[in-house]
Amino acid sequence: MHAKAADRLLHHYSNHARVLPWRAPPGQARQEPYKVWLSEVMLQQTTVATVTPRFLRFLERWPTVDALAAASDEEILAEWAGLGYYARARNLISCARVIAERGGFPGSEAELRQLPGLGAYTAAAVAAIAFGADAVPIDTNVERVVARVFGLTDRAEVTEAARTWWPAGRAGDFAQACMDLGASICRPRQPLCQSCPLKDDCRAAKLGTAHAFPARKLKKARPHRFGLAWWIRQGDHVWLTRRPAQGLLGGMAALPGPEWGDERPSANPLAIHRHGFTHFTLDLMLVPRTEPTEEGWWQALKGLADAGLPTLYRRAIECALAAEREPRLAA
């Protein structure tokens, strides 16, 4: 039954595959590894709509992995600004340089797994999509499709079920078919079961409880932290610095200030920007100062878009500028 279901899904994919700049159309030559790898790194925790224009900008600036490897950390981090999860950018830099030094991408899942920043999913995705290996990449969409088809609530069982279902020789196409199905039809909420090519094969659809598969993860409460950022402005310029290479937002342009903590500092801020990270929330308090006290540079306010600021600091600066215009705290 599941072999026939796989055939139906591949047929559906051949007619309804999403057109994406990092994807080769069904039935055509496989996409080059650089584009597959770059897209998979960018797509981690980030939507297709957000990634697509940024992916094209990266390709225009660095059309090959060798070109990317030759770029400076600062250039790449600045281009990554706004995509979030900045450890991905640092791993991207390290990985590109390893690949360039070895003369190209390795073709096996096991070898890809040894590259910096390539976890189990990314290694399997590149192996299957770019090299045609019989690897089984399981992202959130794939996990949901498999869990519903087989009627599994235990996430550990999903991986094994996927391995038994994956058609040999079509791993890349089948993975992308599952990804598309999960994104467009087998959605987390309000799945379009009547439009699904697998509705007659899907246990969850037959039970009428697709929303229950897979079992939802319990969300942990996020702790709250506090930080200070020095607001140092002279005319149409603001003083920026660069965060330490390691740690959260490592190597990114930033407003100067001490490390964040769990206790609210005693300060009289010009503005407070509240920001949500994956594992905690942050109140960043912008405190005026007259002169720089650490290394950095004067950045023209008109050129902030070129500074490579992550979202936290870009929005914090917007809050500070708003507060200077209004006699109250901007949050």
Residues classed as catalytic: 40
Could you give the CA distance from residue 267 to residue 291 in angstroms, rounded to a whole number? 17
Between CA 262 and CA 299 the distance in angstroms is 30
Residue 329 sits at the vertex; the CA angle it makes with 325 and 331, to the nearest 5 degrees, is: 105
**CA–CA dist 234, 245 (Å, integer):** 27
Polymer length of the chain: 331
Positive or negative CA dihedral for 75, 81, 86, 89? negative
281 three-state secondary structure: strand
Residue position matching structure tokens 């992916």: 55
Whether the Cβ atoms of residue 178 and residue 146 lie closer than 8 Å to each other? yes
Q: How far apart are the first and last CA of the chain?
A: 56
Q: Which amino acid is at 297?
A: W
CA dihedral for 145, 149, 155, 157, sign (positive or negative): negative
Closest CA to 307 of 244, 237, 260: 237
What is the C-alpha separation between 127 and 111, in angstroms, rounded?
Answer: 9
Query: Alpha carbon 248 to chain centroid distance?
Result: 15
Q: What are the C-alpha distances in Å from 282 to residues 48, 193, 264, 288, 291?
A: 27, 40, 10, 19, 25
Angle 260-263-269 from CA coordinates, rounded to 5°: 70
**3-class secondary-structure state, position 272:** strand
- DSSP tally for the chain: helices H, then strands E: 13, 7
